[in-house]
Structure 1
Amino acid sequence: MTPAGVVLDLGNVLIDWQPALAIAAGVGSVEAEKFLTADDFDFMAWNHEQDSGRSWADGVDEVRRSHPHWLPHARAYLDHFPASLSEVPGSLEVVRDLHGAGIRLVGLTNWSDELYYPHAAPHFEVLRLLDDVVVSGEVKAAKPDPRAYEIAADRAGLPFDRLAFVDDKQLNVDAAAALGMDGILFTGAAELRTELRSRSLPI
């Protein structure tokens, strides 16, 4: 069955996210690498808490209490966050074609609402082509939590089995497929276009 809508991850699918660039802007590239590969601190797990709805003030306070030696690095990421963002090559054109064909398009992103709305929403054309965006920090549900996919399907106005889902993380694709969505692992815009065409979408 040809999907009637497409649910798209944002980070590293539509918008390239490189946290090292933001951290390096504050403390330098060597320190950024140390922070992101530290044995005593899991940056991705810490960031996921803010993506799931914890405030950045509380997130930074946690670092201050538990890992004070990493506090300048955590602050650097927050203070220079826009430096971590850029367009994923080719993705805008894919979304533009889907939008032009009248395909229902919903973003589903693990992203803090405190950072998404000021630093992403106003600045990337691709986001303005989406019919809606589900921001995990706002709805307090982050992938692979099934609730995040349920909210996206509700925003799309379509059942799971009429939606294709695109993400760069296999874990998130598998979670979508378990709910009945047509999961597509993103490896690049050209490959995504091929995958969507194979599903008879007009792109």
Structure 2
Amino acid sequence: MIDTVVLDLGQVLVSWEPWRAHPDLTRQEWDAVAGRIGFHDLNLRADAGERWADLEIEVAARWPGTAGFVEQYEREFAATLVGPVAGMPELVGELRERGTRLLGLTNWSTETFPRGVAAVPAIGELEAVVVSGEIGLVKPDPAIYEHLVATHEVEPARALFVDDRAENVEAARALGFRGHVFTTATVLRRELAVLDLAHA
């Protein structure tokens, strides 16, 4: 029996579009700069606890023409959160009303996470959220799931883990969780209905 749902946040509860921190660039220009500096790797390092200011210094030294890109991303981070993922606030509310235990497990920098909480009230509906930047571990490292299990007394066999990245879901499954690769709230609702956790 599943009685706990563990939710990723970015692209599951909140839509994240990182290029929106740079309205001075076209999407094509943003992609070019992000690709040159390895933005997504830098973002993962921030998720693991590194400071954005330190990453800006590193990038500016290596690619002088991109000086300020990382700093602007961190400063304008709120603009990258474009609202709740369709249907998810309602689904979270329904799960909570039915007594389902709700937890979060997110790769997120501690410097920007508070802005996520402010942008998406549904995050506040969760009992607790494990934030990667606070513990220096990121998905899909098994250690972050083990931290969740130990800290919040989660029984993996009784928990559904929901994430938009297949590799993160596979890591959870390897530790005994039921896993769901998120695409839409409608598809997730169907699986929850099969588990008798939500209405179809």
CA-CA distance at 1:70 after TM superposition: 1.8
Q: 1:164 & 1:122 partners in 2: Cα distance?
A: 26
Equivalence map 1:20-169=2 (5 Å): 20-22=19-21, 24-25=22-23, 27-29=24-26, 30-36=28-34, 38=35, 40-85=36-81, 86-117=83-114, 119-169=115-165
Tell whether the 8 Å contact from 2:148 to 2:154 is kept in structure 1 after alignment: no
1:180 paired residue number:
176
Tell whether the 8 Å contact from 1:110 to 1:137 is kept in structure 2 after alignment: yes
- Structure 2 alignment gaps of length 5 or more: none
Spell out structure 1 runs of 4+ moving beyond 6 A: none
Task: Supply the RMSD in Å over aligned alpha carbons.
Answer: 1.4
- Structure 1 alignment gaps of length 5 or more: none
* Letter in structure 2 aligned against 1:75: E
Q: TM-score, normalised by structure 1?
A: 0.92
Tell whether the 8 Å contact from 1:14 to 1:92 is kept in structure 2 after alignment: yes
Q: 1:157 & 1:173 partners in 2: Cα distance?
A: 19
* Letter in structure 2 aligned against 1:101: R
Identity %: 38
* Letter in structure 1 aligned against 2:18: P
CA-CA distance at 1:126 after TM superposition: 0.4
Q: 2:67 & 2:195 partners in 1: Cα distance?
A: 47
Deviation per CA, 1:132-172: give whole Å up to 9, x if none. 01110011111001121122223442211111000000010
CA-CA distance at 1:63 after TM superposition: 0.7
1:191 paired residue number:
187
- Comparing 144-153 with 105-114, which one deviates more in the overlay? 144-153
